[in-house]
């Protein structure tokens, strides 16, 4: 008789068999989505069916959040998955790691879904577009360091505006990890802060090659970037979500460089033209002013003003002459008065008296004016013009000067 086991043991055993099968741990299955549910937890629940059969599927939030489109009922897809059993219900189901639209029609549907969603949120609005600087000094580049896009941009820059400086943030431009790398490179340039404008560039490729530029994460990062962003992806006929959300779309990396960088040769021609226009305008204005000046000179009112001015000038000249004469006379009078005062001061100078052979008698700081101020034994200081003498009074004799002696003084 067979061994008796529990339902739990059965389900657990079947689950272990499924998960141990190498074929069932990594499958790619094509089918059509039915009964799709986007759970509030972020998980996707749906059935995958073909013409004859269906199988339940679940895609957990960690994987579902990386999708650039919203799956819908009836959409044909290819899923990468593993097979297992939901142990509690004994439900056989697939666990989806990646989900891709099957065929160009479904891919276009996913593109249109995301485009409509972002447009509705205003990410493509013209009002949100930032203006590019006319003369950028630093240009940030988000592209592959080994791609042709980098070479094309630098080649154009060397020809049009050699003074431009570039900051390269390397990122993959194709493959599963490329979108995260592009977003990270964009954030690095924004954090650096030197870039005046940022170009996200890649050369041509197939539609599948360019699919990374349709990512929602990249679109939102570009929209949130404070620095103007130029999309330079693919050829002229290729449009991506990045083209719609960027501040400016260029058909190719070469076109992006030409749009971002001024042309020094064209600017030189414009500058020459402006200088010539200024020169012609100045000549025209000078001629006009000269004509107006001559007309004013011939106008009767100007003639009257000129005659009045000439009369005032003559009056001013006569007044100036009178003031000059008065100033000279006053100056001569003051000079004569000063000479007389100097002569009088010189005649009263004690040095004048000393020069005639007299001396001044002093006792300390006191000048002796009369013999009555002295007594025998006093010490005197006699001041001559060229010397001084210290003397002592031996005897004091009073006398009166005769009229003849007085005359000598």
- Is pTM beyond 0.85 here? no
The domain defined by 129-262 folds into Rossmann fold (3.40.50)
pLDDT digits 0-9 by tens, 186-245: 999 999 999 999 999 998 777 777 888 998 999 999 999 999 999 999 766 668 999 999
Bridge partners, residue 390, by sequence: 381
Residue 406 vs residue 300, higher pLDDT = 300
Most confident of 115-129, 229-243, 392-406: 115-129
List the Cα angle 384/386/389 in 5-degree steps.
50
Q: Is it the case that residue 405 has pLDDT exceeding 60?
A: no
3-state SS assignment for residue 26: coil
Six-digit token string for 122: 């205003």
Q: At residue 172, does pLDDT exceed 60?
A: yes
**14 torsion bin: left (phi>0), alpha (psi -120 to 50), beta (else):** alpha
Secondary structure letter of residue 356 according to DSSP: T
Is the pLDDT assigned to residue 137 strictly greater than 60? yes
Average pLDDT (257-268) is 91
Instruction: Record the tokens describing residue 207, joined without a space.
Output: 């539609």
pLDDT, residue 11, reads: 87
- CATH code given to domain 7-118: 2.40.50.140
pLDDT digit string, tens, across residues 289-329 = 888 877 777 777 777 777 888 888 888 988 888 988 898 99
Which of residues 407 and 61 earns the better pLDDT score?
61
**Token pair 């990270």: residue:** 184
| Alpha-carbon gap, residue 217 to 163, rounded angstroms | 34
Nearest in space to 142 (alpha carbons), one of 88, 89, 180, 86: 180
Distance CA 226, CA 197 (A): 10
The pLDDT of 132-140, averaged and rounded, is 95
In the sheet with 388-392, reading across from the earlier edge strand, the strands are: 366-367, 360-363, 379-383, 388-392
The predicted pLDDT at position 384 comes to: 84
Structure tokens belonging to residue 217: 């994460």
**Residue 397: what pLDDT?**
78
Query: Closest Cα to residue 19, out of 82, 97, 79, 80?
Result: 82
Cβ–Cβ under 8 Å, residues 41 and 54:
no
Which of these ranges, 69-73, 116-120, 351-355, has the smallest mean pLDDT? 351-355
Among 5-9, 208-212, 340-344, top mean pLDDT goes to: 5-9
């Amino acid at each position: 008789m067979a061994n008796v086991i529990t339902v739990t043991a059965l389900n657990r055993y079947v689950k272990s068999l499924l998960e141990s099968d190498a074929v069932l741990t990594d499958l790619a299955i094509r089918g059509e989505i039915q009964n799709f549910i986007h759970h509030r937890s972020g998980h996707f629940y749906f059935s995958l069916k073909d013409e004859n059969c269906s199988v339940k599927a679940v895609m957990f939030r960690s994987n579902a959040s990386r999708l650039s489109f919203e799956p819908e009922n009836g959409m044909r897809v290819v899923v990468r998955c593993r097979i297992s059993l939901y142990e509690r219900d004994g439900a056989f189901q697939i666990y989806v790691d990646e989900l891709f639209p099957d065929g160009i029609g479904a891919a276009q549907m996913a593109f249109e879904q995301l485009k409509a969603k972002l447009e509705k949120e205003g990410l493509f609005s013209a009002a949100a577009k930032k203006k590019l600087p006319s003369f950028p000094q630093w240009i940030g580049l988000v592209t592959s360091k080994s791609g042709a896009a980098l070479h094309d941009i630098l080649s154009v820059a060397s020809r049009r505006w050699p003074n431009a400086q570039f900051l390269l943030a390397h990122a993959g431009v194709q493959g599963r990890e490329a979108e995260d790398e592009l977003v990270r490179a964009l954030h690095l340039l924004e954090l650096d802060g030197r870039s005046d404008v940022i170009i996200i560039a890649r050369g041509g490729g197939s539609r599948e090659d360019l699919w990374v530029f349709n990512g929602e994460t990249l679109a939102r990062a570009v929209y949130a970037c404070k620095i103007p962003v130029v999309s330079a992806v693919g050829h002229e006929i290729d449009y991506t979500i990045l083209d719609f959300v960027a501040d400016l779309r260029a058909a190719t990396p070469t076109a992006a460089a030409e749009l971002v960088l001024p042309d020094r040769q064209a600017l030189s021609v414009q500058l020459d033209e402006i200088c010539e226009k200024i020169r012609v305008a100045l000549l025209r204005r000078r001629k006009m002013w000269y004509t107006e000046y001559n007309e004013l000179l011939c106008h009767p009112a100007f003639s009257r003003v000129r005659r009045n001015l000439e009369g005032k000038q003559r009056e001013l000249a006569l007044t100036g002459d009178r003031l000059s004469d008065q100033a000279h006379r006053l100056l001569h009078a003051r000079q004569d008065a000063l000479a007389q005062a100097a002569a009088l001061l010189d005649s009263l100078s004690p040095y004048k008296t000393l020069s005639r052979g007299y001396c001044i008698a002093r006792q300390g700081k006191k000048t002796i004016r009369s013999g009555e101020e002295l007594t025998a034994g006093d010490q005197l200081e006699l001041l001559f013009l060229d010397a001084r003498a210290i003397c002592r009074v031996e005897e004091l004799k009073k006398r009166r000067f005769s009229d003849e002696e007085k005359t000598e003084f």
